[in-house]
Structure 1
Amino acid sequence: MTSVTEETTAPVLAAAAAAAAGLTQKRVPIPPRGVDYRGKIVLAPMVRSGELPSRLLALHYGADLVWGPETIDRAMIGTTRRVNPRNHCIEWTRVPTNNVKKELFDESVIYRIDPVREAGRHIFQIGTSDPARAVECAKLVAADVSGIDVNAGCPKPFSTHAGMGAALLRTPEKLVSILEALVAEIKPAFDIGISVKIRLLETTAETEALVRRLCATGITGLTIHCRTTPMRPRERAIRGQLRMIADVCHEFGVACLVNGDVEGRDHALELMAEYGTDGAMIATCAEKNGSCFRAKADGGLATWEEAVAKYVRFAMEVENKFHNTKFMLTQMVPGKSPKYRELTPCKSYGKIIEVLGLTGDEELVEMARRTDELMKLVTLDGSSSSSSGNDKSKVEAAGDDKKKHDLTNNVAQQENLKRKREDGDEETEKQQPPPSMRINVSEAGEAATTAAATSVAEQQSSQPVAAAVAAL
Structure 2
Amino acid sequence: MPQQIDHDATDEQLYADLPDPVILKPADLLSDYQPNILAPLVRCSKLPFRHLTSLYETHITHTPMILAEEFSRAQVARISDFSTSLDERGVFWMEKKKSRKGKEAEHEREGHSYSHPEDDRPRQLQTQDGSDHFDDTGRLPRRLPPTPVRPSANHDLVRGCMIAQFASPNPTSLADAAELISPHVDGLDLNCGCPQRWAYNEGIGCALLRKPELVRDMVRCVKDRMGWEWPVSIKIRVDPELKLTEQLIKTALQANISHLTIHGRTRHQSSADPVNLDGIKFAVETVNGQVPCSGNGDIWELNDAVIMRETTGVSGVMGARGLLANPALFAGYKTTPSHCVSQFISLSSSYGLIHPLFHRHLAYMLESQFSRAEKIWFNSLGGPVGAIDWLESRGLGWRKQSERGTIWDARRGRAVVQAI
Judge same fold: TM > 0.5, yes or no. yes
SS of 2:276 mapped into structure 1: coil
- Which residue pairs with 2:284 in the alignment? 246
- Which residue pairs with 1:164 in the alignment? 204
Counterpart CA distance in 1 for 2:184 and 2:352 is: 19
- Which residue pairs with 1:137 in the alignment? 177
Counterpart CA distance in 2 for 1:312 and 1:172 is: 43
- Which residue pairs with 1:36 in the alignment? 29
SS of 1:36 mapped into structure 2: helix
Give the counterpart letter for 2:297 in structure 1. G
Counterpart CA distance in 2 for 1:306 and 1:72 is: 34
SS of 1:333 mapped into structure 2: helix
Answering whether residue 310 of structure 2 is matched by residue 317 of structure 1, we say: no
Structure 1 pair 351/128, CA: closer, same or farther in 2 (3 Å)?
same
CA apart distance, 1:94: 5.0
- Which residue pairs with 2:308 in the alignment? 271
Q: Is the 8 A contact 1:304 1:333 kept in 2?
A: no
Counterpart CA distance in 2 for 1:271 and 1:286 is: 16
- Which residue pairs with 2:136 in the alignment? none
Q: Is the 8 A contact 1:333 1:339 kept in 2?
A: no
- Which residue pairs with 2:371 in the alignment? 336
Counterpart CA distance in 1 for 2:382 and 2:165 is: 31
CA apart distance, 1:355: 0.9
SS of 2:80 mapped into structure 1: strand
CA apart distance, 1:44: 0.6
> 5+ unaligned residues in a row in structure 1: which ranges?
1-29, 81-92, 96-107, 365-472
> 1:230 aligned to 261, 268, 271, which one?
268
CA apart distance, 1:158: 3.1
Answering whether residue 307 of structure 2 is matched by residue 307 of structure 1, we say: no
Structure 1 pair 110/277, CA: closer, same or farther in 2 (3 Å)?
closer
Counterpart CA distance in 2 for 1:59 and 1:314 is: 12
> 1:293 aligned to 321, 325, 330, which one?
330
Counterpart CA distance in 2 for 1:329 and 1:341 is: 13
Counterpart CA distance in 1 for 2:349 and 2:25 is: 33
CA apart distance, 1:262: 2.1
Q: How does 1:62-77 map to 2 (within 5 A)?
A: 62-77=57-72
- Which residue pairs with 1:113 in the alignment? 84
CA apart distance, 1:162: 0.6
Structure 1 pair 197/284, CA: closer, same or farther in 2 (3 Å)?
same
Counterpart CA distance in 2 for 1:242 and 1:360 is: 43
Structure 1 pair 330/168, CA: closer, same or farther in 2 (3 Å)?
same
Q: Is the 8 A contact 1:41 1:281 kept in 2?
A: yes
Q: Is the 8 A contact 2:39 2:319 kept in 1?
A: yes
Q: Is the 8 A contact 1:129 1:175 kept in 2?
A: no
SS of 1:123 mapped into structure 2: strand
Answering whether residue 19 of structure 2 is matched by residue 48 of structure 1, we say: no
CA apart distance, 1:31: 8.1
Structure 1 pair 339/307, CA: closer, same or farther in 2 (3 Å)?
farther
Structure 1 pair 355/76, CA: closer, same or farther in 2 (3 Å)?
same
SS of 2:293 mapped into structure 1: strand
- Which residue pairs with 2:360 in the alignment? 327
1:282-322 per-residue CA deviation (whole Å, 9 max, x = no partner) reads 11101111111113xxxx33445443332222211110111
Aligned positions, number: 304
Counterpart CA distance in 1 for 2:88 and 2:266 is: 34
Q: Is the 8 A contact 1:44 1:281 kept in 2?
A: yes
Q: Is the 8 A contact 2:37 2:318 kept in 1?
A: yes
Q: Is the 8 A contact 1:34 1:147 kept in 2?
A: no
Q: Which range is displaced more, 178-187 or 313-322?
A: 178-187
Counterpart CA distance in 1 for 2:72 and 2:77 is: 9
Give the counterpart letter for 1:37 in structure 2. L
Counterpart CA distance in 1 for 2:41 and 2:357 is: 12
Answering whether residue 118 of structure 2 is matched by residue 78 of structure 1, we say: no
State TM-score, norm by structure 2. Answer: 0.67
Counterpart CA distance in 2 for 1:158 and 1:309 is: 36
Give the counterpart letter for 1:146 in structure 2. D
Counterpart CA distance in 2 for 1:45 and 1:201 is: 20
Give the counterpart letter for 1:117 in structure 2. E
Structure 1 pair 246/322, CA: closer, same or farther in 2 (3 Å)?
same
Structure 1 pair 133/274, CA: closer, same or farther in 2 (3 Å)?
same
Q: Is the 8 A contact 2:299 2:320 kept in 1?
A: yes
> 2:186 aligned to 146, 160, 164, which one?
146
1:93-140 per-residue CA deviation (whole Å, 9 max, x = no partner) reads 459xxxxxxxxxxxx632111222227511000011110000001111
Counterpart CA distance in 1 for 2:27 and 2:322 is: 27
> 5+ unaligned residues in a row in structure 2: which ranges?
1-22, 91-159, 402-420
Give the counterpart letter for 2:342 in structure 1. A
Give the counterpart letter for 2:53 in structure 1. A
State TM-score, norm by structure 1. Answer: 0.60
Q: How does 1:190-205 map to 2 (within 5 A)?
A: 192-205=230-243
- Which residue pairs with 2:321 in the alignment? 284
- Which residue pairs with 2:246 in the alignment? 208
Q: Is the 8 A contact 2:327 2:365 kept in 1?
A: no
SS of 1:57 mapped into structure 2: helix
Counterpart CA distance in 1 for 2:297 and 2:38 is: 12
Give the counterpart letter for 1:70 in structure 2. M
SS of 1:227 mapped into structure 2: coil
Q: How does 1:92-107 map to 2 (within 5 A)?
A: 93=76
- Which residue pairs with 2:167 in the alignment? 127
Q: Percent identity?
A: 22
Give the counterpart letter for 2:330 in structure 1. F
Give the counterpart letter for 1:348 in structure 2. G
Give the counterpart letter for 2:181 in structure 1. V
CA apart distance, 1:61: 0.8
Counterpart CA distance in 2 for 1:177 and 1:254 is: 19
> 1:175 aligned to 215, 231, 235, which one?
215
Counterpart CA distance in 2 for 1:240 and 1:361 is: 43
Q: Is the 8 A contact 1:61 1:292 kept in 2?
A: yes
SS of 1:125 mapped into structure 2: strand
Counterpart CA distance in 2 for 1:359 and 1:204 is: 49
Structure 1 pair 219/305, CA: closer, same or farther in 2 (3 Å)?
same
